[in-house]
A and B are shown apart, each in its own frame.
Chain A
Amino acid sequence: MHDVSQNDLKEDQEYHDKNDDEIKSEQQLVETIKVQLEQEKDKVSSCEKKIQYLLADFENLKKRSEIDIQNRVNSITDGIILKFLGIYDDFIRAKDALSKQDTNTDGLDAILKNMDTFLIEFGVKPIESVGEIFDPKLHEAISVKEDLTLDDNTITAELRKGYILKDRVIRPTLVEISKRDIKEMNTNG
């Protein structure tokens, strides 16, 4: 009996030792899994972050593309209208030259009227200038004229008409402006 109980105790002890080992290794396993879980969580959160960034980038790209397309359309339209304006200018010059030679220009006037309608249909508006005060957003100054009777920077002559297409200045009006005292003007730069 004594021996048996000794044996039992021994076995018990062994059993407990074994159990402890198993628990230890299981605990280790749990720890490893925990670490792995944390790593995976990190991975997931970094992936989520990437996806968020990508989605945001994609949304931004969509918005950007819309603007880009609009800009490109605008730039092509501006280009076509500008080329047309060159021919339109020449046409007015031709009419003026013929008027000076006392030639009947009724037919040309009719064509000009059609051209004007075309410009209006496309939303092209001329920039008024003579008598106005110079505005660099609308006008480009080519020359200066001394005039004591006018305020400084009053537009005295229009060298080439400018135009606005919708809200864009596609061609500034080239102008001559007045100054009360030209000599006073120094240069810088």
Chain B
Amino acid sequence: MAKIIGIDLGTSNSAAAVMLGGKPTLIPASEGTTVGGKAFPSVVGLTKDGQLIVGEPARRQAVTNPEGTVVAAKRKMGTDHFFKIYDKEYKPQQISAFILQKIKRDAEAFTGEKVEKAVITVPAYFNDNQRQATKDAGQIAGLDVVRIINEPTAAALAFGLDKLKQDMKIMVFDLGGGTLDVTIMEMGGGVFEVMSTSGDTQLGGTDMDKVLIDYVVDSFRKTSGVDISKDSAAMVRVREAAEKAKIELSSIFETDVNLPFISYDQSSGPKNLELKITRAKFEELINPIVERCRPSVTKSMEDAKLTPADVSKIILVGGPTRIPLVKKFVANLMGKEPEAGIDPMEAVALGAAVQAGIIGGEVTSDIVLLDVTPLTLGLEVLGGLREPIIDRNTTIPTSKSKVFTTAADNQTAVTIHVVQGERPMAADNVSLGSFNLSGILPAPRGIPQIEVKFDIDANGILNVAAKDLATQKEAKITISASTKLAKEDIEKMTKDAELFAEQDKKKKEEVLIKNEAQQSIYAAETLISQQKDKISQEQGVQVSNAMKELKDVLDKGIEEIKPKLDLLTKLINDISTELYKNATPPPGATGQSGPETTTQNGPSATGQDASNSPN
């Protein structure tokens, strides 16, 4: 079935998105990403010779062709206004149709399919005329507009609020390039209803850019005595540097505007613009603009007859809401933090795509809505460590297997303990169950091969099977609750993993070094017993002593084990090197051969006696 796309037809910028593999994805503009990200300016240019230019190229030619350039046609939608361009008249919906045609082309290039249907968003305050005009624009562009939805509703869909299945009041604070829209909505039974709208059509990010540019120009005038405001080449550089500084100050506290050779003076030579801007200074500059948002928020609350405490979710939309001061302002005013996780520049287009997906049956379809494992599934190995088998967020159904081995000589059974969670120690995770595989043929440690297979079906049922590859003996367990966890539990377990990360890392290191120590002791014992005649008595005593010393500190900390372990490893290595040197190579031998050995972190399974080791 052909895709339905979602379109955010904005006043200053437009963007579109489509559901891909069950996820809303932004459609990049054909001319590539610009300052506005994947969105493009809602500018249309018609040249004297009848050429049509839309988006970023239209913005670039605006100065050369002011009569043929239309910006913000959205403001005139649903009115009788005509744009007169070179003796021809265009209705606002015709101009919007040019933008929609470009989106249609870009979407077809992006999806590789024909695009004929769309969901288009409009401001919540748009009346029937304006909505009809938007629909007409779609029709002119060759798009069947299957639904017109409110921009704040689209934003709420992008944040997945409709899935929360609870009644709530939502405030959408949409601060764009040149307009502020505040909407209060009520959601009940998955239906959004607008309670009030308020806003300011002459307030936005452009005002903030302007104060910052003015500040840079003024500072330079004060320090150098030169006014660069009339120098268009210099001003282009200042504008770009200010934009960069604005973005940087959203994540760091101080940035440098550094524009060498910004002007040249015959008498005093070149002049450089160097200016440090702190976030505090930037906030001081834009604070009056941010404050101008206050009346709109207050009014929307009054009209909806609500207090801030009644509003349970706040959504921020528009580029300027990325600025920490704006976020803080809204949070302080409403007494709670806004929702996070979706780019505020993309939220409306993404939400429109979600709506398109719902209409197209894509979102509810079980083909697309695949589940994921919320937490890592693994098993307990030597020393109580957790060996992950299926990582968290893996899409199910899935199956993965790993080969493990025994930790003790002549071990005939292993216990498979299945755990779920993000912590490196098995005991810190949730135990899902355990079972034994017995009947393993007696063999030295590290020889038996036991394949453990984790298989989760589409319903989240986990089957774990362990098989001795030599005897083909198998044992298994079925766990039905592996993916059905409460959201809070998943969050708590994930948070715990972060919280205890440092502590867990230490614990894991300790276990790893203990495992290594036991491994070295085993290797030393084997070496001495097998190579008795080839090792000098002195060497034998040295190794035995080192082994004993290491055994004595096995239950102590890393600091004590490490030097003893290093000593024993060195002694073993020295002896092995010597033995190899003295050994005559077999005829035709060109390199080392022998059984494959696994690495330090290689597979191993918990033994029946809980004394397993890797290899």
Q: Which residues of A contact B (CB under 8 A)?
A: 50, 53-54, 57, 60-61, 63-64, 71, 75, 78, 90, 93-94, 96-97, 100-101, 134, 136-137, 139-144, 153, 159-160, 168-169, 172, 174, 176-177, 179, 185-189
Contacts and interface: CB of A to CB of B under 8 A. Distances in A.
Contact of B63 (A78, A90, A101, A142): A142
Contact of B61 (A75, A134, A159, A188): A134
A93 B273 CA distance: 13
The size class of the interface chain B forms with chain A is 35 or more
Interface in B43-88: 45, 53, 57-64, 66-73, 83-85
Q: Which of B28, B236, B261 has most A Cβ within 10 Å?
A: B261
A96 B263 CA distance: 12
Interface residue SS majority, chain A: mixed
A136 B260 contact: no
A168 B32 CA distance: 8
B190 interface: no
B209 to A, nearest CB: 17
Interface of B: 20-21, 28, 31-33, 45, 53, 57-64, 66-73, 83-85, 112, 232-233, 236-237, 260-261, 264, 269-270, 367
Contacts of A185: 66-67
A53 B367 contact: yes
Contacts of A176: 232
A187 B233 contact: no
Contacts of A188: 66-70, 83-85
21 contacts: A57-B21, A57-B367, A60-B112, A94-B260, A134-B64, A136-B58, A136-B61, A137-B57, A141-B60, A141-B61, A141-B63, A141-B64, A142-B63, A143-B232, A172-B60, A176-B232, A186-B66, A187-B66, A188-B66, A188-B69, A188-B70
Nearest to B22: A57
Interface residue SS majority, chain B: mixed
A140 B58 CA distance: 9
Please provide the 5 A-B residue pairs with the shortest distance between their CB atoms, ordered closest to farther. Answer: A93-B261, A136-B57, A136-B61, A140-B60, A97-B270
Contacts of B83: 188-189
Contact of A64 (B20, B71, B236, B367): B20
Contact of A144 (B28, B31, B57, B63): B63
A42 B66 CA distance: 62
Contacts of B68: 188
B599 to A, nearest CB: 30
Nearest to B67: A186
A131 to B, nearest CB: 16
B32 A159 contact: no
A62 to B, nearest CB: 11
Nearest to B266: A100
B233 A159 contact: yes
Contacts of B31: 137, 169
Contact of B233 (A75, A134, A140, A160): A160
A93 B61 contact: no
A54 B236 contact: no
B45 A61 contact: no
Given A97-B261, A188-B68, A142 B236 contact: yes
Contacts of A179: 64
A96 to B, nearest CB: 8
A50 B367 contact: yes
